[in-house]
Amino acid sequence: MVSKDDAVNGFVPQHTHGSVDYTSVSQGHVHQCLDVTSPAIPTADGGHVHYTEGYVVFENGHVHRYQAYSGPAIPVGEGRHVHYYDFYTTVENGHRHRVRGVDMPAPGSR
């Protein structure tokens, strides 16, 4: 069994990533985005991505939903990797927010 802090050379099939981030500022406010991805989705080039969907934390009287895929794995050393994400939320109250960043490291060098 592999724990979240283990270093693994290669690919770990059923891993997920978490992230905690803030959206861009729009109409004078931000939302916090707490997320856990789907398990790894293999890609044709031998890598993988992750799917995520959810909603940002209730702020300023509303929420926004999102659905997105991460970028490919980015090795960060010591048998771990991260993914970059960049997506927009749904439009609510006449505006939307951008969410971008890097998720938390997970086991696997690719």
pLDDT at 10: 86
Do residues 70 and 82 make contact, with C-beta atoms less than 8 angstroms apart?
Answer: no
CA distances from residue 33 to 24, 45, 49 in whole angstroms, order as listed: 11, 30, 19
Model confidence, pTM:
0.90
Burial zone of 102 (CB within 10 Å; 0-12 exposed, 13-18 middle, 19+ buried):
middle
Region 19-37: what's the mean pLDDT?
Answer: 95
pLDDT at residue 105 is higher than 90: yes
pLDDT at 23: 96
- Which one is predicted more confidently, 3 or 58? 58
